[in-house]
């Protein structure tokens, strides 16, 4: 953000508290920046299938509606606030996708595979809630997001596939072009690393090798 843009946003921010016209112009000026943030977030979590344009639009709409609660005075504080709203919306969208896919997977599991079957014990997909299903509050979401960002790309991807999309190991192995045991070992290493990053947080116990 150049000095001219920052100066303009600072002026609009001050006027936005007084008139709706200035507020509309302020968020119109922020749209391109928010869209770039949304595109970066969508690239970072491809498995969540986030639409960057929709995510940016929802973020700006929420910010416009909740502008009275914003207490910042600088463009930097405004952008940080918008980023937080965007992250919250992205987490909500990812969780909705996970829930929808989990319900879909439940319908696809053959009735012959009861809880006591070897296949169900070896590859629980839909009947056992995953850790992301338990992340109910914003703080836990932020902790998880921060930890995932620190993982190597392949580790992060296999955790997203397994815990966000609820994919069975057979499909994960196919996507990785590896054998199923190799995919399971990769997932195991990824979970162990994630648990290390989450040590001392409420999420640490949610990720284990039985997930």
- Domain limits, the chain: 3-90, 113-206
Tell me: the pLDDT tens digits for 109-152?
443 333 433 433 344 444 344 555 444 456 667 777 788 888 89
Task: Name the pTM for this structure.
Answer: 0.49
The C-alpha atoms of residue 149 and residue 159 are separated, in whole angstroms, by 12
CATH of domain 113-206: 1.10.10.10
Instruction: List, in order, residues 6 or more apart from 186 with CB less than 8 Å away.
Output: 154, 155, 158, 176, 178
Over residues 149-159, mean pLDDT:
87
Return the residue matching tokens 């979590």: 45
For 205, which DSSP code? G
* b/e 122-132 (16+ beta carbons within 10 angstroms → b): eeebbeeebbb
Cα-based distances in Å from 105 to 22, 50, 209: 48, 20, 21
Does 11 or 164 have the greater pLDDT score? 11
Fold entry, domain 3-90: Rna Polymerase Sigma Factor; Chain: A (1.10.1740)
Percent of the chain with pLDDT over 70: 68
Alpha helices in 69-178 (DSSP H): 75-108, 118-122, 131-134, 138-149, 153-159, 169-176
pLDDT > 70? residue 191 = yes
């Amino acid at each position: 953000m150049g000095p001219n843009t920052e100066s303009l946003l600072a002026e609009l921010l001050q006027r936005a508290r007084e008139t709706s016209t200035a507020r509309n112009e302020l968020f119109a000026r922020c749209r391109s920046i928010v869209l770039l943030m949304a595109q970066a977030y969508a690239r970072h979590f491809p498995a969540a299938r986030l639409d960057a344009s929709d995510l940016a639009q929802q973020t700006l709409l929420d910010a416009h509606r909740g502008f009275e609660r914003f207490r910042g005075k600088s463009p930097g504080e405004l952008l940080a606030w918008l980023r937080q709203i965007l992250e919250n919306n992205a987490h909500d969208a990812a969780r909705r996708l996970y829930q929808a896919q989990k319900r879909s997977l439940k319908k696809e599991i053959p009735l012959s595979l009861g809880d006591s079957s070897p296949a169900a014990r070896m590859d629980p997909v839909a009947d056992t809630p995953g850790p992301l299903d338990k992340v109910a509050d914003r703080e836990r979401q932020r902790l998880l997001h921060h930890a995932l960002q620190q993982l190597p790309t392949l580790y992060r991807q296999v955790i997203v596939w397994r815990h966000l999309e609820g994919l069975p190991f057979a499909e994960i192995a196919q996507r990785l072009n590896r054998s199923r045991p190799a995919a399971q070992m990769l997932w195991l290493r990824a979970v162990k690393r994630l648990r290390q990053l989450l040590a001392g947080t409420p999420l640490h116990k949610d990720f284990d090798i039985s997930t």
